[in-house]
A and B are shown apart, each in its own frame.
Chain A
């Protein structure tokens, strides 16, 4: 399933190139505003200017994979629910949630490579970035990204299932993108958010999608204990959301039976 998902998105060459262009343009715009902000307040949010710029460019590379700006599988799932095709999926021998997870991981894997590498390279050429040289750090980052993608999937699976009750998912998808962009740290690192509000946004599941992998990459979670805590935080959200998806799925399945498919 994952390989199929990867191949399927790999056929959209032009769309991927256009997406790379978009991520690069946004990267430049954000990078300039961050330079202005960190010129004014060096060390803001615990980052120096190079780290703040790294935050911008690595997050642009992760956006498409995490489906934070839309895209992903839930639109397709909602369409299958709306048309009733989902009944066929439920009869398949594969588990519905794991089936979509595999497909979404394949998509994310392609977009990590296809839409991730070029914007990061452009950013590294145009601005001084603080990318680590330590291969272990990159390995931890990859684990953290994978967990982040799982959290993102877990949340979007709930959105997909919501179509069983709402029928049309476009409204809730739109709301989800708004929330994801803001609470993941894409507009501004979550460490810059002030006071109690800042503390709250840093423990919400969206923090696991962008903020935590970026901090892992830049070594903000000091020592082995810090890394374990960061990955543990992501794992916890992944388990909670996948579990919630499972509960909601069984509720939804009963609803399908009531309607007669």
Chain B
């Protein structure tokens, strides 16, 4: 196996918040200035560390939403109302604040522009974040590998990166399918209902094409989706998963 990860010590570094933008009412993107950022691969994440004035610290992992070739490092965080860290990042953090981070972390759930095979990306909720990095990287590198994205969100208003995804969908080689599980706006012509075997059969590459498959989102979503893909005949060894926690 190749040794992909950065092997030096991953030290904590300060990053300054340049801008916070609302993606949805629950989800904000945080644009960071991270001096001497060593670079990353699309799909990797960072660890974020916050320190209270009595010295208490909390750490969480967040996928990198920006492509390696983007100028700034971007994280996209969904607020879990009763959570410890995400409400702070979404509601409190503002331009000029400094947070500590280290990374990039994780060398398995990554997509490289040199990957020539078709890829299937299946996202639930904030699980779209690492895929945004992959899709941006795909565009920046003018990759010829065809990509299909299937994205499950509760409502149209909760579709993160909505405008960007609609733009991407118009590009050659990228197919974007969105399914709305709770409610659909009038005239919605995307999919409805949860990701299941029937929808996956319709949207995904056939297993015979040996696509690289990535599944990301809440634990329950990832479990169900990965099981359904295996059931459809996809090679379990080609299905990479990233579980964000939570069970919804």
Do A and B come together as binding partners? no
